[in-house]
Amino acid sequence: MIDDAQQLFRVMADPIRLRILHLLRQRKLCVGDLVTVLDVPQPTASRHLAYLKRVGLISARKNSYWTFYALAPARTVLRRKLLECLDADSAGRARDAKRLAAVRRSGGCCPM
């Protein structure tokens, strides 16, 4: 797990990774649901998820064929503060929240 401020800010600077973090603050999600909400190709979503996991901001849990992603506990003050900053960033969240609500209504792609 990397606690280097420069690395964390680099992670947070990407719009897709920010959107993923916003979505994972609401609930754990699988790649298929993230692809639907973000409207990006699966390899793109997977690449960003791998990066977020590598720096320790998210965790992954396998369930049969599916992997579910969730925010990792913030173990340092810097990480806690960065995640708190997500709450202040409302740009684009409404669109993603609406799409996530539609995914939830449809049942999503993976059984929880």
* 111 part of a folded domain: no
36 touches 99 (CB < 8 A): yes
40 located within any domain: yes
CATH number of the domain within which 98 lies: 1.10.10.10
Number of domains in the chain: 1
Q: How much is the pTM?
A: 0.88
Taking the C-alpha atoms of residue 86 and residue 110, their distance in angstroms, rounded to an integer, is 26
pLDDT tens digits, one per residue of 23-75: 998 889 999 999 999 999 999 999 999 999 998 999 999 988 889 999 999 88
For residue 108, is it left (φ>0), alpha (ψ between -120 and 50) or beta?
left
Report the alpha-carbon distance of residue 33 to residue 111 in Å, rounded: 11
pLDDT at 46: 95
Q: What is the mean pLDDT of the chain?
A: 87
Question: What is the domain extent for residue 86?
Answer: 5-104
